[in-house]
Amino acid sequence: MDIRYSANPNDVKRYTTEELRREFHISGLYRPDTVQAVYSHVDRMVTLGVMPVNETVPIDKGIDVWANFGTRFFLERREAGLFNLGGPGVVACDGTEYKMGYKDCLYIAMGTKQVTFKSEDSSNPARFYVVSAPAHRAYETRLITLEEAAKKPLGSAESSNKRVINQFIHPDVLPTCQLSMGMTCLEPGSVWNTMPCHTHERRMEIYTYFEIPEDNVVFHLMGQGDETRHIVMQNFDAAISPSWSIHAGCGTSNYTFIWAMGGENQAFDDMDVIPTTDLK
């Protein structure tokens, strides 16, 4: 498991490109029949990538659960949310199977002892993007399809940010302890997301970008509003965003991204908006 410690915004002002990427950028999440995991000390969020090809892969494959979490099993004191970003797959939670198509989402309750992943077609494997947060009680494990997500259309073609925010793991859809997750889809011709940008003093956020066309990239903006930085993102890359950092992106094409949040609350409007003309 890759461990990422918290970064002070005053130190980040002096980071090189390599240092920024080492602290906040996540890549290489999908490798055949493995679990790739990144533990962030920012709100103790864990990001995982699972791509089963020829095997049924348990969520803790290659992870020393006691050494990393001090628990008997991965979700003993955690909840998790995941999306399938690949071919058809199946997630089994304590023996109950959930068939997952492209862009389907699954919330897994705290206390689930066994979680496994498999693909239905090894030539078109599933890609499971997983985020886990600490939890204090068990809710209900539930599959949420794109059709069932709460939808919030935003932006316009004129401002190059026409998009739909799909809220999957969200208080308007189902109860959770602190984890929120959703998917924002940009329309063709739109490249900006989350403008004007903002910070969350009481929550952190993780973005993962996908559906980036070949030979295109997304410039993920981060840092304090008066000290912005950027990380160039490839398809399926993710970025950790501490509470003090903006989190926005501009692509060379339209794209889709998944956001995951955890922290003090789940209030969508609890944010500090920064006027675009104030960015530096």
Task: Give dist(CA 251, CA 219) in Å, integer.
Answer: 6
Q: What is the pLDDT of residue 201?
A: 87
Q: What letter would DSSP give residue 68? A: H
Q: Count the helices and strands in the chain (H runs, E runs).
A: 3, 24
Q: What is the pLDDT of residue 6?
A: 93
Dump pLDDT digits (tens) for 55-87.
Answer: 999 999 999 999 999 999 999 999 999 999 999
Query: Whole-prediction pTM value?
Result: 0.96
Residues contacting 279, CB < 8 A, separation 6+: 197, 225, 226, 228, 246
Q: What is the pLDDT of residue 20?
A: 97
Q: Which amino acid is at 187?
A: E
* CA distances in angstroms from 202 to 43, 163, 239, 261, 266, listed in the order given: 10, 25, 18, 10, 9
Residues contacting 30, CB < 8 A, separation 6+: 36, 49, 50, 51, 86, 127, 236
Which residues in the chain come in under a pLDDT of 70? none
Q: What is the pLDDT of residue 264?
A: 82
Answer for the pair 243, 204: CB distance below 8 angstroms, yes or no: yes
